[in-house]
Structure 1
Amino acid sequence: MSISCAIVSYHNPPAEIADVLRSVAATPGVAVMLIDNSRDDSLGAIARQFGVRYIHRPDNPGFGAAHNLAIEEALASGATYHMVINPDVTFGPEVIPGLRSYMDAHPGVGLVMPDIRYPDGSHQHLCKLLPHPGDLLVRRFLPTLYSLSGRLDTYEMRSSGYERTMDVPALSGCFMFLRTSVLRKTGGFDERFFMYLEDVDLSRRIGRVARTVYYPAVSITHAYQKGSYKSSVLLRRHIRSAILYFNKWGWFFDDERAAVNRAAMRALEEPALDAKPSPPLANRK
């Protein structure tokens, strides 16, 4: 039972790439591919140091398109699982085996995401409902109003406490553990999304044929740069992706979105059989 993994980089610091490759290398036997969308190939030296496959794409085809190169190889190689991992992620040696064991025991799950923490150990609230246009607009430009309205807590499923395994409509692309048999049905990322919302789109398509699950028994650390909050170029890309997403799935009238989100929130009202107390910050990876 094989696992493949892809990391897409764009001018990331070499030390950051080394950290994520070191995290993956703690689990033997994972086939790793580093797809580098940077203008130069300086990260190739780090890839060679860790013995991973390196593909240089100076034309920068985008996040999803670069990841699809690895997904196609994962399907061709017969891998059972494939991981999509951001370059600003680190984790301990228990993470990949833990996710693999969960997927082995739950064949109806097509995508699982672990618990995700900031470097200080606090939760990143990356479990989300399928977005409404208002969610993205008000959350980005009127965050205080969005938070005070209570909509932020609902959209990010915060009432769960993030301490229970739960079905989540939209999971973050910073760390996706995917069943390749499901990817054969859904395909990989929609390459029309250069970056942003391609993970929501893929989660939604997987959710039509399998479960998409948040599994907090293992945790990773994610630097989470929020690039579109700092760069006007990335903000424009984010807006274009949002327009593309809603053109594809529906803007204000989306019956599927409403049904999926209702089911996810209704499930949170049921008792959590696997809830666990948060570990002390010092013990978190």
Structure 2
Amino acid sequence: MQNAAIVILNYNGVEMLRKFLPSVTQFSTYPVIVADNGSSDDSVRLILNEFPQIRLIQLESNFGFTGGYNRALNLLKGSFDYYILLNSDIQVEQDWDLKLVQFLEENKEAAAVQPKILSFPNQGFFDYAGAGGGFIDGLGYPYCRGRIFDTIEMDKHQYDDAIEVDWASGACMAVRANVFHQAGGFDERFFAHMEEIDLCWKIRKMGYSIHYLGISKVWHVGGGTLNRNNPWKTFLNFRNNLLMLHQNLTSSSFASVYLTRMLLDLLAALVFVLRGNFQDGKAVLKAHMDFHKIKTTSVRSKNKIEVDFPASPSSVKSILWDYYIKGRKTYRDL
């Protein structure tokens, strides 16, 4: 069994691969594997012709982030101790991957760890996806050190530490292979977005911890596959957040949280409409409808620690309240 592998899931991302694979192959310690999610562009040809040192896994169609990674990692099962999941639109620095794996080797209770994720297009700022480590508030809303909603901080070395977090970003995270499979991998109902938060929640309920390591840095383009303002992304984010809560909370706790979330999400839909974003408003309503259609397929996790929000490093009850009412725009203000 080899120690680790960097696994990049690709779907019609030939330009991103052409731009960023050179830095990944140059500055990484571990072998790179590209799992192609049934691309119709020249992605496969690019890998075969220009990156012969990279192992290519070809999937027959687009199974989304969740299904694509599940299928690719199932093919690699038993071959590696650690998987390093990496988006195709990320630039890395020397030994970024080695630092993540060494952290997991030295901290046996840790199941996953993410690096500092900075913005590639907005140099000097944190990236939207993951930033300086992810958290969940008491209503299930995710936020990050370095990014709360649309407020993104400059990197002034304020998060160069190593801490325990609620979730690690799917844009770049190292995870123990055996724990990933024991947790059942990603929930394929999600397709894309928030699946890593759900996975980390399940892993934490198994008794492991999730971490952030600030001495490892990567730079993320973001929105390469789906723009943040796309109504389809709005739909996925709202629906998948409800799926995550339904799967991981007890029935009574979910019922209580859902009543509040339903009111807040309706308010969010109204705000979208008032701002002229009618499709986003419809996406929120559609998210609730679709959640009720598929929630019966949920299999609540039955791991050895039966708690709702497992002892979180974060103590924020409502990030919405802190951000919009109290005006606390950065993590250090909370």
State whether TM-score is above 0.5.
Answer: yes
230-239 or 26-35, larger mean C-alpha shift: 26-35
121-130 or 204-213, larger mean C-alpha shift: 121-130
Alignment pair present for 1:260 and 2:311? yes
Cα displacement (A) at 1:253: 4.6
- Residue 214 of structure 1: aligned partner: 212
Cα displacement (A) at 1:257: 4.6
User: How many angstroms apart in 2 are the aligned matches of 1:134 and 1:265?
Assistant: 12
User: How many angstroms apart in 2 are the aligned matches of 1:233 and 1:28?
Assistant: 34
Cα displacement (A) at 1:27: 5.4
Alignment pair present for 1:233 and 2:235? no
Alignment pair present for 1:167 and 2:164? yes
- Residue 117 of structure 1: aligned partner: 118
Larger Cα Rg: Structure 1 or Structure 2? 2
Asked if the contact 2:118/2:218 (under 8 Å) is kept, the reply is yes
Q: 1:4-43, aligned counterparts within 5 Å?
A: 4-12=5-13, 14-26=14-26, 30-43=30-43
User: How many angstroms apart in 2 are the aligned matches of 1:18 and 1:234?
Assistant: 25
Cα displacement (A) at 1:34: 1.8
User: How many angstroms apart in 2 are the aligned matches of 1:253 and 1:85?
Assistant: 33
Q: Which amino acid in 1 is paired with 2:7?
A: A
Asked if the contact 1:8/1:63 (under 8 Å) is kept, the reply is yes
Alignment pair present for 1:96 and 2:97? yes
Identity level (%)? 20
61-70 or 41-50, larger mean C-alpha shift: 41-50
- Residue 141 of structure 2: aligned partner: 135
User: How many angstroms apart in 1 are the aligned matches of 2:102 and 2:33?
Assistant: 22
Cα shift readout 1:258-280 (whole Å, capped 9, x = no counterpart): 4523x4459xxxxxxxxxxxxxx
User: How many angstroms apart in 1 are the aligned matches of 2:233 and 2:257?
Assistant: 27
Asked if the contact 1:110/1:178 (under 8 Å) is kept, the reply is yes
Asked if the contact 2:111/2:209 (under 8 Å) is kept, the reply is yes
Unaligned runs of 5+ in 1: 137-142, 267-285
Question: Any idea what SS the aligned residue of 1:36 has?
Answer: strand
User: How many angstroms apart in 2 are the aligned matches of 1:240 and 1:260?
Assistant: 25
Q: Which amino acid in 1 is paired with 2:210?
A: T
Q: Which amino acid in 2 is paired with 1:245?
A: M
User: How many angstroms apart in 2 are the aligned matches of 1:19 and 1:93?
Assistant: 17
- Residue 272 of structure 1: aligned partner: none
- Residue 187 of structure 1: aligned partner: 184
Alignment pair present for 1:85 and 2:83? no
User: How many angstroms apart in 1 are the aligned matches of 2:166 and 2:141?
Assistant: 15
Cα shift readout 1:44-74 (whole Å, capped 9, x = no counterpart): 1221121223334463111011011222133
Alignment pair present for 1:55 and 2:77? no
User: How many angstroms apart in 2 are the aligned matches of 1:216 and 1:234?
Assistant: 28
Cα displacement (A) at 1:173: 0.4
**What do you get for the CA RMSD once the two structures are aligned?**
3.2
User: How many angstroms apart in 2 are the aligned matches of 1:74 and 1:38?
Assistant: 18
- Residue 71 of structure 2: aligned partner: 69
- Residue 108 of structure 2: aligned partner: 107
User: How many angstroms apart in 2 are the aligned matches of 1:258 and 1:29?
Assistant: 36
User: How many angstroms apart in 2 are the aligned matches of 1:20 and 1:203?
Assistant: 27
* Residue correspondences, number: 248
Q: Which amino acid in 1 is paired with 2:209?
A: R
User: How many angstroms apart in 1 are the aligned matches of 2:202 and 2:17?
Assistant: 30
| Structure showing greater relative contact order (alpha-carbon pairs closer than 8 Å, 6 or more residues apart) | 1
Q: Which amino acid in 2 is paired with 1:47?
A: I
Q: Structure 1 residues 126, 247: CA separation in 2 closer, same or farther (over 3 Å shift)?
A: farther
Question: Any idea what SS the aligned residue of 2:193 has?
Answer: coil
- Residue 262 of structure 2: aligned partner: none
User: How many angstroms apart in 2 are the aligned matches of 1:116 and 1:39?
Assistant: 26
Q: Structure 1 residues 170, 17: CA separation in 2 closer, same or farther (over 3 Å shift)?
A: same
Cα shift readout 1:220-270 (whole Å, capped 9, x = no counterpart): 001122845321222222222223222212344599454523x4459xxxx
Question: Any idea what SS the aligned residue of 2:247 has?
Answer: helix
Asked if the contact 2:96/2:217 (under 8 Å) is kept, the reply is yes
Question: Any idea what SS the aligned residue of 1:104 has?
Answer: helix
Unaligned runs of 5+ in 2: 143-148, 259-305, 317-334
